[in-house]
């Protein structure tokens, strides 16, 4: 523990690390949710509509709900978000009505906006207040590894749960686990100066900050290109993510063994984020590092066209996850250091809105492609949506 965490780091950040571990361990719906909806009779198009809600709803609610974090603090906003989302997850298995699920997913998406942007800002500003800015990148490197450790356990446990209790159990266990992980965050500290303003004034201030953030983005081309690059990545991921589970199932993988695949992936990638720092140092510039990673992703997605065996399919999936684990620890801090603290949460929300919309569009495209030409070809075509990200990364000025 001491070797992995610095003493001051563990003292400040342990609730975030432990909460992430618990959350990742019990996200049982992760390997099975698309299969679950297919099993209860939904088409890929219907599933894509449910998923797309998470991209379009924040367009309306992301910025206004940011006012709650501005008034009451990021801690309250994040914890409230996680609890309400957990309740929505618990409700999912009790209905097979498509329109009822649209309502549930809409509320899920609205509640989720309370934490997007505020969660990272909570940690970053806390570390800055403590004079531990050097721990920011370490935090973003370690969080995926801790999450991967949890997912290793999740894959094995979820496979057992599906085998013994059926697919419905994935939602119940996920919801209860999410509540438990949220309670741990009650022990986390927060640096936040409360302001004596009304909710209406906070909404107005948030809108002003949003305009300021958009103007800041427009005037700073490097930030604009970074957001555009990430947007195309999410567009491609939206096309691809809907297809992986049914693709592996079509290759012959048993449903109950999907959990083991996720455990394997997590076991492989758990230490990968720690490679990002030395690799970045060797390459020198973030834009070159990120463009190289995404170029490799494009190559692997194009190779999906030729896959005909479960082993190769799982291998490609593992390698893609390795690349994305190398991408995140550099991309997120790169974004954070390009924006001032006063609009950090707002810019996080703006970014979440933009990538959420592009991701939702990608999911809708995936629903159409998967229903018409199959999951495998949908994955293949997702590579072409990823290519513009390489261009935008290279456009960022040194």
Task: Give the predicted TM-score (pTM) of the model.
Answer: 0.79
Give residue 228's pLDDT band: very low, low, confident or very high (50, 70, 90): confident
The pLDDT of residue 23 is 95
The pLDDT of residue 275 is 87
Give residue 44's pLDDT band: very low, low, confident or very high (50, 70, 90): very high
Domain ranges of the chain: 9-190+214-395
The pLDDT of residue 194 is 64
Give residue 58's pLDDT band: very low, low, confident or very high (50, 70, 90): confident
Q: What proportion of the chain, given as a percentage, has pLDDT over 90?
A: 46
Most confident listed range (169-173, 224-228, 343-347): 169-173
The pLDDT of residue 62 is 64
The pLDDT of residue 88 is 97
Q: Is the pLDDT of residue 348 over 80?
A: no
The pLDDT of residue 311 is 93
* pLDDT, tens digit (0-9, with 9 covering 90-100), for 365-392: 999 999 999 999 999 999 999 999 999 9
Mean pLDDT of 93-101: 96
Crossing angle of the two packed helices 310-337 and 286-303, in degrees rounded to 10: 160
The pLDDT of residue 345 is 64
Q: Is the pLDDT of residue 206 over 70?
A: no
The pLDDT of residue 309 is 92
Q: What is the CATH code for 9-190+214-395? A: 1.20.1250.20
Give residue 74's pLDDT band: very low, low, confident or very high (50, 70, 90): confident
- Return the higher-pLDDT residue of 392 and 220: 392
The pLDDT of residue 98 is 96
Mean pLDDT of 125-131: 84
The pLDDT of residue 131 is 82
Q: Is the pLDDT of residue 109 over 70?
A: yes
The pLDDT of residue 123 is 87
Assign 3-class secondary structure to the chain.
Answer: CCCCCCHHHHHHHHHHHHHHHHHHHCCCCCCCHHHHHHHCCCCHHHHHHHHHHHHHHHHHHHHHHHHHHHHHCHHHHHHHHHHHHHHHHHHHHHCCCHHHHHHHHHHHHHHHCCCCCHHHHHHHHHHHHCCCCCHHHHHHHHHHHHHHHHHHHHHHHHHHHHHHHCCCHHHHHHHHHHHHHHHHHHHCCCCCCCCCCCHHHHHHHHHHHHHHHHHHHHHCHHHHHHHHHHHHHHHHHHHHHCCHHHHHHHCCCCHHHHHHHHHHHHHHHCCCHHHHHHHHHHHCCHHHHHHHHHHHHHHHHHHHHHCCCHHHHHHHHHHHHHHHHHHHHHHHHHHHHCCCHHHHHHHHHHHHHHHHHHHHHHHHHHHHHHHHCCHHHHHHHHHHHHHHHHHHHHHCCC
- Return the higher-pLDDT residue of 294 and 340: 294
Q: Which range has the worst mean pLDDT, 34-43, 116-125, 377-386?
A: 116-125
- Return the higher-pLDDT residue of 102 and 267: 102
**Distance (Å, rounded) from C-alpha 220 to C-alpha 16?**
32
The pLDDT of residue 295 is 95
Mean pLDDT of 59-83: 78
- Return the higher-pLDDT residue of 214 and 286: 286
Q: Is the pLDDT of residue 237 over 60?
A: yes
Q: Is the pLDDT of residue 344 over 80?
A: no
């Amino acid at each position: 523990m001491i070797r992995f965490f610095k003493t001051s780091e563990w003292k400040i950040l342990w609730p975030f690390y432990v909460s992430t571990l618990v959350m990742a361990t019990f996200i049982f719906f992760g390997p099975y949710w698309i299969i679950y909806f297919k099993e209860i009779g939904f088409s890929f198009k219907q599933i894509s509509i449910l998923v797309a809600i998470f991209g379009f709803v924040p367009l309306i609610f992301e910025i206004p709900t940011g006012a709650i974090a501005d008034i009451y603090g990021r801690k309250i906003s994040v914890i409230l978000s996680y609890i309400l989302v957990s309740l929505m997850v618990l409700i999912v298995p009790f209905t097979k009505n498509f329109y009822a699920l649209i309502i549930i997913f809409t509320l899920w998406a609205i509640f989720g906006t309370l934490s997007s942007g505020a969660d990272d800002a909570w940690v970053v500003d806390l570390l800055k207040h403590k004079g531990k800015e050097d721990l920011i990148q370490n935090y973003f490197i370690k969080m995926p590894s801790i999450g991967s450790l949890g997912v290793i356990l999740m894959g094995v446990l979820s496979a057992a749960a599906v085998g013994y209790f059926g697919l419905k159990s994935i939602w119940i266990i996920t919801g209860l686990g999410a509540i438990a992980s949220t309670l741990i965050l009650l022990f986390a500290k927060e640096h936040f100066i409360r302001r004596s303003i009304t909710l209406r004034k906070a909404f107005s201030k948030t809108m002003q900050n949003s305009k300021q953030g958009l103007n800041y983005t427009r005037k700073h081309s490097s930030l604009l290109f970074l957001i555009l690059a990430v947007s195309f990545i999410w567009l491609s991921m939206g096309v691809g993510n809907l297809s992986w589970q049914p693709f592996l199932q079509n290759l012959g993988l048993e449903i109950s063994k999907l959990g083991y695949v996720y455990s394997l992936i997590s076991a492989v990638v758990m230490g990968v984020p720690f490679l990002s720092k030395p690799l970045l140092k060797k390459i020198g510039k973030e834009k070159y590092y990120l463009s190289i990673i995404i170029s490799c992703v494009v190559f692997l997605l194009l190779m999906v066209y030729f896959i005909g065996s479960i082993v190769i399919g799982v291998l490609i999936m593992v390698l893609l996850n390795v690349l994305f684990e190398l991408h995140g620890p550099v991309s997120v801090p790169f974004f954070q250091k390009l924006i001032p603290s006063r609009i950090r949460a707002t810019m996080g929300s703006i970014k979440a809105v933009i990538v959420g919309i592009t991701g939702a569009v990608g999911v809708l495209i995936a629903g159409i492609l998967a229903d018409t030409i199959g999951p495998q070809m949908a994955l293949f075509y997702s590579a072409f949506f990823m290519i513009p990200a390489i261009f935008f990364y290279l456009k960022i000025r040194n």
